[in-house]
Structure 1
Amino acid sequence: MECQECQQRPATLRYTQVINGDKTEVYVCDVCAKEKGYMTYPEEGYSLHQLLSGLFSPPIDNQQHTPKQQKNELQCPKCEMTLSKFKKLGKFGCSQCYQTFEEYLDPMFRRVHSGNTAHHGKIPARKGGDMRIKKQMNAYKEELQRLIKNEAFEDAATVRDKINALKKEMGGDDA
Structure 2
Amino acid sequence: MLCQSCNEREANVHITKIINGVKTEMHLCDECAKAMHGEKVGLGYEMGMPLSFQNILDGFVEMMGGFPQSIIGEKTCPLCKMTFEDFRRNGRIGCDECYKTFKDEMIPLIRRIHGNIQHNGKLPRRTGGILKYKRDIDRLKDELKNAVSKEEFERAAKIRDEIKELEMKLKEEENRG
TM-score (norm 1): 0.43
TM-score by length of structure 2 reads 0.43
